Structure 1
Amino acid sequence: MIKIIFFDIDGTLVDRRAKALDSTRKAISQAQSQGILCGVATGRSPIHLSEQIDALNFDVFVTYNGQLVYTKDETLYERTFSKAVLEQIVDFADTGNRQLMFGGRLKMEGSSLMRFGQNSKARKLVRFIPKWFPVAAAQNLLIKYRSVKEECRYHELNILNEEIYQCVLLSSAEEMEDLNRQLPDCTITRSNPYVVDIIPQGGSKLRGIMKCIETFGFSLNEVMTFGDNWNDVEMLEGTGIGVAMGNAPDGVKASADFVTATNEDHGIYQAMVHYKIIEEAVYENR
């Protein structure tokens, strides 16, 4: 029996307008009314998270790809970079003039371009970027022609005196192998074509979920997860029921127990009906 459900955010929980469908809201509400806990499992930070999840009333939050897990009342698990590994990341970014953000508990700092990318309005604009957009060419252009190339631009950030859970790097898919080689003490995962998330080695959404359910006394077989991208694969494979959205890449779909409709076409609702988590009457006139 499913006792807790986790939802990825972008491409899963919300639509292209960064809004949750009415069917999604009602499905989650009915699951909670039956005593099933509901939460997010996201690569995003806890900063302004309520806005990002369209003010849905969740019970638990797995953020920064599993590195920070909490409820409204307490922190259940947290894992940050060691000072040595963080220094390696900073050196890599400064040497290569890379666009990078550092994620702490209360704020994110770094590249002004990346800060804009974390803005809710910018996330809505992303849907208008064509799939053929040349990420690698744009990235190389920024590296070569960035107007201000101060030495040690990241080393001087005040946020580096705080605990850092995750870094977000502008990066094309073509350089994944090179990133893994240059940052061997990190786990690098991708949730969209434009950036990668860098977290402490061995970290993942699944690990954060496992730490969370230890607190509640649940097993992985009692967990249901929803996702649509590559950083969701491990949790889709490792939990009792893994559901891939219809808009997910084929490789992500292959990792799931069930493929539902898209995030624009009531996919969460349909999967929860399929597994009898909720009754179909919860959402009429779809």
Structure 2
Amino acid sequence: MEVKAVFFDIDGTLVNDRKSVLKSTKDAIKIVKEQGVLVGVATGRGPFFVKELMEDLDLDFAVTYNGQYIFNKEKVLFASPIAKSSLRQLIAYAKKERKEIALGTEHAVVGSKIMSFGLGSFSQLVSRFIPTVLTRTVSRSFNRMVSKAVPQKEDDLLNLINQPIYQVLMLMTPEESEKAASDFEDLKLTRSNPFAADIINQGNSKLEGIRRVGKEYGFDLNQVMAFGDSDNDLEMLAGVGMSVAMGNGSSSVKEVAKHITASNQQDGIHKALEHFGVLASEKVFVSRDYHFNKVKTFHHMMDERTQEEPQAWDAEGATHRADFKIEELVEFVRAASSSEEEFQNSLASMHEALDKAAEKVAKKTPAKQNLVGQVDALIDTLYFTYGSFVLMGVDPERIFDIVHEANMGKVFPDGKAHFDPVTHKILKPDDWEEKYAPEPAIKQELQRQLKAYERHKERNRNNK
């Protein structure tokens, strides 16, 4: 996958718990931009909050208010104010249900005093330590407390909607926001924290905002890498080509994302960009094939034996590499055999195929060390492997990640990798099968794909 653009959520992702950007993140963004990758943010925050960050990090664009207001350094690319009729309904609903409400303009979030407090760094930090089961109690207590101490005036709110309002924030629990959603069919309720709902127009989202930016700049969603930590990032992370959940992210975000990195306090962004080869290293070349970059990371970690200059294998090394593949092919055939007899017959057929191939290749090309020939043969092997997955109906992307994580566990208690003295094959620690064997995770992923196919069939039956 070629990454043409990277998008970051802000709170809990781009900034740490002190609301500052880590030096490692700043350095990574600078290098990524120098490599020609576009960089922006996708946030529930308003444009007024983002502009200083854009200048400091030299960002290319910003998707703000969950896709309602999008701009770059020169102009506004898209703006979708909420209809005044919908705003009046929301204000009336807040009054009836005694809910604190705030309105997001181009320049500020205005209205509720408690909502303004809730957007501050202190309250956002505190919210991380409040158990989910107490969210409802805390939210209702805040509503009652503030409505008595600093009551909202409906007339003041109605005066505010004479200017464009791009997002409404309402203090309510997740259960309350789900219930309220049915009362506002033209609006969409999403969440970036457990206490408040972000209310925007239907059809807009961070993901749709990224899609709009892509049309402007010439990239599609499959060429986007996105980072997030909260539930209002779910649609974005599910829809882009490469999605990364922060280590401090919610469980639902980690379930949806294709990769989980370290937290926003522990260089998570830098590590993920480096892990997928988007952030080029000065020591090694980086490919646009992120699977290749993962394997290269593995070899570099194990024995630092990565080759930077294209170079052909000698006969001994090529034979060892072929042996590794043959073992996997035998395992593949074994898994396709319903009995020991069938397996032995398949092995006999493989021996015949090997003899036939040797005869064919010997007639075709003379024996000589040939970089082009080796690369051509390996690419054909890779192509045939993808073809096998295609004909099985299996998407290998997440499975590759599962196997990669398992391979990264091949470090012995002494902190080093151990190798076969002849073939240089990386050996497995004694506890590897117990701790890292990928089969259970592969089985779970295949079950997910089978269920997805069943849902697809069911939808097709219902649409007939």
Q: Fold match, TM over 0.5?
A: yes
Partner secondary structure for residue 47 of structure 2: coil
Q: Higher strand share goes to which structure?
A: 1
Partner secondary structure for residue 80 of structure 1: coil
Q: Which amino acid aligns with 2:173?
A: S
State the Cα RMSD in Å.
Answer: 2.3
1:252-282 deviations in Å (ceiling 9; x for gaps): 1121121111111111111101110113459
Tell me whether 1:74 sits opposite 2:65 in the alignment: no
Change (3 A) 1:257 1:219: same
Using the alignment, how far apart are the partners of 2:56 and 2:260 within structure 1? 26
Corresponding residue for residue 39 of structure 1: 40
| 196-205 or 152-161, larger mean C-alpha shift | 152-161
| 159-168 or 106-115, larger mean C-alpha shift | 106-115
Q: Which amino acid aligns with 1:140?
A: R
Corresponding residue for residue 137 of structure 2: 137
Structure 1 gaps, min length 5: none
Corresponding residue for residue 169 of structure 2: 168
1:132 Cα deviation after fit: 5.3
Using the alignment, how far apart are the partners of 2:142 and 2:276 within structure 1? 47
Partner secondary structure for residue 161 of structure 1: coil
1:233 Cα deviation after fit: 1.0
Partner secondary structure for residue 279 of structure 1: coil
Contact 1:18 1:54 survives alignment (8 Å): no
Residue pairs, 1:115-194, within 5 angstroms: 115-120=116-121, 122-124=123-125, 126=127, 129-131=129-131, 134-144=134-144, 146-147=147-148, 153-157=153-157, 158-194=159-195
| 59-68 or 94-103, larger mean C-alpha shift | 94-103
| Superposition TM-score, scaled by structure 2 size | 0.57
Using the alignment, how far apart are the partners of 2:260 and 2:239 within structure 1? 16
Contact 1:67 1:165 survives alignment (8 Å): yes
Q: Which amino acid aligns with 2:15?
A: V
Corresponding residue for residue 92 of structure 1: 93
| 175-184 or 165-174, larger mean C-alpha shift | 175-184
Q: Which amino acid aligns with 1:166?
A: Q
1:155 Cα deviation after fit: 3.9
Using the alignment, how far apart are the partners of 2:132 and 2:205 within structure 1? 28
Contact 1:12 1:226 survives alignment (8 Å): yes
Q: Higher helix share goes to which structure?
A: 2
Q: Which amino acid aligns with 1:92?
A: Y
- Name the structure, 1 or 2, with higher relative contact order (CA <8 Å, separation 6+): 1
1:102 Cα deviation after fit: 0.3
1:36 Cα deviation after fit: 0.8
Corresponding residue for residue 26 of structure 2: 25
Partner secondary structure for residue 163 of structure 1: coil
Corresponding residue for residue 428 of structure 2: none
Change (3 A) 1:123 1:103: same
Partner secondary structure for residue 189 of structure 1: strand
Using the alignment, how far apart are the partners of 2:29 and 2:150 within structure 1? 48
- Structure exhibiting the larger radius of gyration computed from Cα positions: 2
Q: Which amino acid aligns with 1:135?
A: T
1:107-139 deviations in Å (ceiling 9; x for gaps): 221111112223355545555x43358332233
Partner secondary structure for residue 24 of structure 1: helix
Q: Which amino acid aligns with 2:22?
A: L
Corresponding residue for residue 56 of structure 1: 57
Contact 2:67 2:208 survives alignment (8 Å): yes
Partner secondary structure for residue 55 of structure 1: helix
Change (3 A) 1:252 1:120: closer
4+ residue runs over 6 A deviation? none
Using the alignment, how far apart are the partners of 2:227 and 2:238 within structure 1? 11
Corresponding residue for residue 272 of structure 2: 271
Contact 1:18 1:124 survives alignment (8 Å): no
| Superposition TM-score, scaled by structure 1 size | 0.90
Corresponding residue for residue 259 of structure 2: 258
Partner secondary structure for residue 265 of structure 1: coil
| 114-123 or 24-33, larger mean C-alpha shift | 114-123
Change (3 A) 1:92 1:253: same
Contact 1:20 1:53 survives alignment (8 Å): no
Contact 2:54 2:60 survives alignment (8 Å): no
